[in-house]
Structure 1
């Protein structure tokens, strides 16, 4: 047993929940959640709300996700009594060449566990970028399942981008962690490293052209992004920087819509994006836990946590056998959930992969771009080897919607690379196995296990639980932290069909996270240049 935090953080972390009978939105930034909840207030549904939230994150949490990213979404359609999944993952350029990524044995492995390459070309800079799917995915969801016009849904994001990002200590932390990568790109450096140093609290960052790009998307949707005037700007910037992404690559991009993976557990049906996400591991973890604990005790016991830890180790072992080396440790990604008064519910997780992605901000659009080439192996002959036009087919993202008796009961997702699926599944299991509220489950101590030789555990667990787990595993005892987040960053919400009450909250470790109830979107005044929110 190791204690890794004798001199570490000394905080008690809690976060408030938002409650409403008219719906709620939970996200990693509470202003983005407010942008989403405003759509509910204006008569929109949960899909309108999640799309507004996702776009708003471009302006308030640009380091985690955005126009240059990709992801998954699960939607529960209350009237139709069915769930749909959307895969809008990134795709390699059609002209991808392994010779662009020569292995450098002197470099450490990438966050995905693949060999490092010369100049970190698979994790930093223009050649680490895949065709982004975010705009296609969000537009697909809004067009097919939303109720409001795109300009209305995107108005808060545009206003936030016009205003600029008010820098606090948490923003400075995010920038400081990635300062070296950001310094490689002149546009990113000018935005995030004024004077050559990370932006400091009480300053304001403006991302040039981002508001104009959002407005262009609001007017032209995915058509302009992938096949129109905006596509021309994007490809021009990419190719000028050394990317092989072409106009044909953008024009060929597709969103995959399909029936999500469904798994039954104690009367619930959990819907996830399936085997390309963390959903298959979630299914295997729950099945293993159910077999070992067919009738749960009234409250979790030390044996409960032994079962959960063994189930996580089991599913991760199977995953690594299936996929080879994929050990994502990325600190990026943003997860959010929404529910409306009609019972429609959405879970969305999307990402730039690593924090600030490639570190590249495209000069003609203000878009921060992903580094998802690092999902692929630079060596020939492996299932994950880079091949032109290949789509990301293995991710830890695990947005989950849980349904019982024909009603969506809760939605949960998280950011945090390998930490995502264990955290999401524990929160879900605590609610299903022990009847915990979403608020109680989010605040409960967690452990993390991914078949890596040890199990990390929060010291808030009882001494009996620690002793029981120490008999079976090598333990790393580490408390929850604001940084680094050792147990993922979870966003979740629930809805009680009997009362209609919706409850949402974000992880206690996320100081800027939160949930919001329906209300008009209003920006807090920051000066005389305050923009109006306009459709």
Structure 2
């Protein structure tokens, strides 16, 4: 079974499984296909994370192919002489681009855990780029919303515009340069991307516009295999992404807190239940601001943050009747220790292999910059660093020294590809895009399936909430009753009705087969199995 945010990419993955490929093979094929058919988020010019449950060895593996800061990056590179943040410099300029990791990550996954040749898996993506595909109303909306930062660059306009306007629904998106880049990767492997013709063109794009990525930065990039974050929740083992993602740490941390409460008895989206979730979320996100960063640069206290004993201390701060203002919440005291535009897809095969992958360009179409001659849209991931202590990024998240800009460092992420095991065997694979809302979206999927015993469709459709400490707002999707909202306001919750949150792609593994569901918050998503 394959669940992704774009039906054509899902079909590509399913065909790989039908030809005898395993879940890793299918995930690699889907990753390259999404770079073509989901250009606002799918990418080879960005980076991300992949979580693998390898049935043969029983191992669980976290692959980190997050973008890296160029070697010339420095802590105050986005500040002017007065110490103020230069508008758009970390989002829509060549300085916003981190060294891309997707090609290295997909190749590492394939070499270590796949079974098919890269050339074969990349072929469907080349065909989709060369022949084109019809733009959906949803993608047309994304293009229209990104008109300003795409339209600024000739190479981007040449692909995504027709005359003076972005392409519209029903028109065909053809990407000849991207097809050529993908063909080169299929024939020559990742070396052409990091050291060969493609690398040269990316570096030339940077040099022409005062960007920082050098030939050495491209050549030195490496994807890293890490140990997943692991926790237990009501008899299930929860596996998720470790730092430089904050997702896994805080999903486990929040579940540890929630295990102290009768969540099922409270009822899904009751005022009592939502108040509890909001207070738990605040406590996790304030810790995120203090402790999380790239583990290769600072010691991240994963063990302490994910300790059930620490969670028991934290829940003592929760008042069941009254919201605690964010201004009164400080990072927890740990035991001593040594110092939106994203997409998710899930794949499960008949052998018991399961893969959950989340990768990103950061904002819609990333920086909006296509490296001339490559067809590759470049990320604006540098904005995920804390560009100035106490100044929120594009998602309103605040960070400190652990996530400050530094040469060759990986920015903190919220991406949370998650696999849940029951008795050592895969039970659920899920994840979502959504910037800072990824963590809380994934949390609610887990709660809906485990606590509220929903099937994956109902779990996906249930209205979601989000609180990230700062700003002090409890965001609710439409669909939560007015009576419930009134009770929450009486408890002191500052409620904001928000746009839809998250677009989960979920597979549940049952004794009699698989159940999967693509979140209808993106109408282009599709789950297919055979």
Give the TM-score band, short-chain normalised. Answer: 0.7 to 0.9
Measured after TM superposition, the shift of residue 202 of structure 1 is: 2.1
- Counterpart of 1:289 (choices 258, 268, 271) is 258
- CA distance, structure 2, for counterparts of residue 220 and residue 314 of structure 1: 48
Choose the corresponding residue for 1:75, options 52, 77, 80.
52
DSSP-derived class of the 2:446 partner: helix
Q: Name structure 2 gaps, 5 residues minimum.
A: 294-339, 390-399
The Cα shift of 1:463 comes to: 5.0
Structure 1: stretches of 5+ with no match in the other structure:
1-23, 106-113, 325-330, 480-484, 519-535
More off after superposition, 215-224 vs 455-464: 455-464
| 3-state DSSP of counterpart to 2:265 | coil
Given candidates 31, 37, 55, the residue that maps to 2:8 is 31
Q: Compute the displacement of 1:97 (Å).
A: 4.7
Contact 1:28 1:335 in 2 (8 A): yes
Q: Which residue of 2 aligns with 1:231?
A: 199
Aligned pairs for 1:242-321 (under 5 A) are 242-277=210-245, 278-293=247-262, 296-297=264-265, 299-300=267-268, 301-321=270-290
SS in 2 for 1:257: strand
> Does 2:507 correspond to 1:493?
yes
Shift of the 376–318 alpha-carbon distance from structure 1 to 2, 3 Å rule, reads: closer
Report the CA distance between 1:251 and its aligned residue: 1.2
Structure-2 separation of matches of 1:178 and 1:458: 24
Distance 1:347 1:334 in 2: 11
1:444 corresponds to which of 450, 456, 462: 462
* SS of the residue 2:237 aligns to: strand
Mean alpha-carbon deviation: is it higher for 371-380 or for 146-155?
371-380
Residue 505 of structure 1 and its aligned partner are, at CA, apart by 1.6
SS at match of 1:58: helix
Q: Could you tell me how far apart the structure 2 residues matched to 1:338 and 1:430 are?
A: 20
- Asked whether 1:478 is paired with 2:485, we answer no
SS at match of 1:489: coil
State the Cα RMSD in Å.
Answer: 2.2
The answer to whether the Cα contact below 8 Å between 1:343 and 1:495 also exists between their aligned partners in 2 is no
Please report how far the alpha carbon of residue 115 of structure 1 lies from its aligned counterpart in structure 2 after TM superposition.
6.0
Aligned-partner Cα distance in 1 for 2:255–2:487: 21
Mapped pair 1:373 → 2:341: no
Could you say which residue in structure 2 is the equivalent of 1:58?
35
The structure, 1 or 2, with the larger RCO (C-alpha pairs under 8 Å, 6+ apart) is 1
State the alpha-carbon separation in 2 of the partners of residues 405 and 341 from structure 1. Answer: 18
The 1:447–1:385 alpha-carbon spacing in structure 2 relative to 1, beyond 3 Å, is closer
Equivalent in the alignment of 1:345: 354
Alpha-carbon distance in structure 2 between the residues aligned to 1:341 and 1:469: 45
- Separation in structure 2 between the aligned mates of residue 436 and residue 228 of structure 1, nearest angstrom: 50
- Alpha-carbon separation, structure 2, partners of 1:383 and 1:260: 20
Q: Secondary structure at the match of 2:13?
A: helix
> Measured at CA, do residues 100 and 264 of structure 1 come closer, stay the same or move farther in structure 2, by a change above 3 Å?
closer
Q: Which residue of 2 aligns with 1:453?
A: 472
Q: CA deviation at 1:55?
A: 0.7
Q: Is the 8 A contact 1:272 1:279 kept in 2?
A: yes
Q: Which residue of 2 aligns with 1:417?
A: 435
Q: C-alpha deviations, 1:301-353, integer Å up to 9, x for none? A: 543333222221221122224359xxxxxx21011100011121111000001
Match of 1:126 in 2: 94
Moved more, 418-427 or 122-131: 122-131
- Report 1:494-509 matches (<5 A): 494-496=508-510, 498-499=511-512, 501-509=513-521
1:19 equivalent in structure 2 = none
Q: Deviations over 1:109-128 (max 9, x none)?
A: xxxxx96415x222113221
Please point out which of 56, 64, 70 is paired with 1:87: 64
SS in 2 for 1:349: strand
Give me the whole-angstrom Cα distance separating, in 1, the residues matched to 2:524 and 2:264.
Answer: 35
Do the aligned partners of 1:333 and 1:351 also contact (CA within 8 Å) in 2? yes
Query: Mean alpha-carbon deviation: is it higher for 27-36 or for 163-172?
Result: 163-172
TM-score, with structure 1 as normaliser: 0.83
Task: Note if contact 1:32-1:57 (Cα within 8 Å) is conserved in structure 2.
Answer: yes
- Please give the per-residue CA displacement for 1:56-88, whole angstroms capped at 9, x wherever unaligned: 011111111301001111001122222100111
Corresponding residue of 1:191: 159
TM-score normalised to the size of structure 2?
Answer: 0.84
Does the residue aligned with 1:65 lie in a helix, a strand or coil? coil
Match 1:402 to one of 420, 433, 436: 420
Distance 1:517 1:369 in 2: 32
Separation of aligned partners in 2, 1:144 and 1:213: 23
Instruction: For 1:65 and 1:116, locate their aligned partners in 2 and report how far apart those are by CA, in whole Å.
Output: 29
- For residues 190 and 26 of structure 1, do their structure 2 counterparts lie closer, same or farther at Cα, with a shift above 3 Å needed? same
Distance 1:359 1:458, change over 3 A: closer
Q: Which residue of 1 is the match for residue 446 of structure 2?
A: 428
Q: CA deviation at 1:467?
A: 4.0
Counterpart among 489, 509, 512 of residue 524 in structure 2: 512
Between the aligned partners of 2:200 and 2:222, the Cα distance in structure 1 is: 18
2-structure distance, mates of 1:400, 1:158: 29
What CA distance in whole angstroms lies between the structure 1 residues aligned with 2:164 and 2:454? 48
